[in-house]
Structure 1
Amino acid sequence: MSKLSFNLLVDGVPYMVKAEPFSFNDEHRYNVSFNGSETFVFAWDEETLRYAPLDEVASILPVSLEQEIANRLYEVTPSKE
């Protein structure tokens, strides 16, 4: 997979999101940044059944933005079936 770039409008705020896929232990993960932010690692979370940031620092992400990014990553991630 190649690098992704997409625009989101969340709660009236525009975001330019960049996501770079990589594999870790046969799992799809993404390095994600938005509007020039630091990079967050998103990985599949079996508990919530969606992509979610791994780092504790990710608690600074607005929940609605996190959910929109997770939805977009889910849409573009190849199925393991």
Structure 2
Amino acid sequence: MKVGDHSKWEGVKLPLLTKAQRRVLKERHKSAVDNAETCFRFYMETKDEFYKSLYTLAMLDAEMNFEVGQFEPDPRYVEMNKEE
């Protein structure tokens, strides 16, 4: 389930990030993807729109960490963010 309009997103370029800062952003990206997966699973089981909203927020969090950190995204993020 694609979240947001990525065609307009140009990303944030922060070349002065340290390796440790990038590592933290990558860990936060992975954690956000984990949360998105959980929320999506709950949404599919319950059809409760609350979980769909939480999924969207978690995916946006994952995207923000990915764009700022400039690393390879979690493969699950790429898969979950495909057009349906």
Bigger relative contact order, structure 1 or 2 (CA pairs below 8 A, ≥6 apart) = 2
Give the TM-score taking structure 1 as reference length.
0.29
Q: Structure 1 or 2: larger helix share?
A: 2
Give the TM-score taking structure 2 as reference length.
0.28
